[in-house]
Amino acid sequence: DDKTFSDIWTPYSRDFKEFYSNAVNDMEKYKDVKGVKAKPDKPDNFIPLSCVPWLSFSACSYDTYSPSPMLFPVIVFGKYFKQNNETFLPFTIFATHAVCDGYHVCLLINTIEELCKNCDEFIKAVY
């Protein structure tokens, strides 16, 4: 409503249905809290996952120097689009080379790609 970004987090669960339900509950509970950190007590071992649904992109960069160690990856999804009867969802991963190599980023990208190919399984698990 005010075009600002708020940060929430949800604990990981191997059970996707449980994780999804918890994430939806967190979004509902904190949807009206203003400020960057909407949900308190963020754990140290988190992975930022963000979405900019207003923008389709082919590249996105987060190369901003900071003296604080940012060792976790940052994943951003963009606006999906259709092309030649296929649906595409742009995303970018910012990863610090101090904690992972291109090989590790490729493993993550390949895993995300496989999950997207089989997204019907996740939808059936939730609905």
- DSSP per-residue string spanning the chain: --S---B------SSHHHHHHHHHHHHHHHTT--SSB-SS---SS---EEE-TT---S--------SS---S-EEEE---EEETTEEE--EEEE--TTT--HHHHHHHHHHHHHHHHTHHHHHHHH-
Q: Is 104 a catalytic residue?
A: no
Q: Which of 3, 97, 117, 124 is catalytic?
A: 97
Taking alpha carbons only, the member of 27, 34, 29 closest to residue 6 is 34
Tell how strand 74-77 and strand 49-51 pair up. Answer: parallel
List active site positions: 97
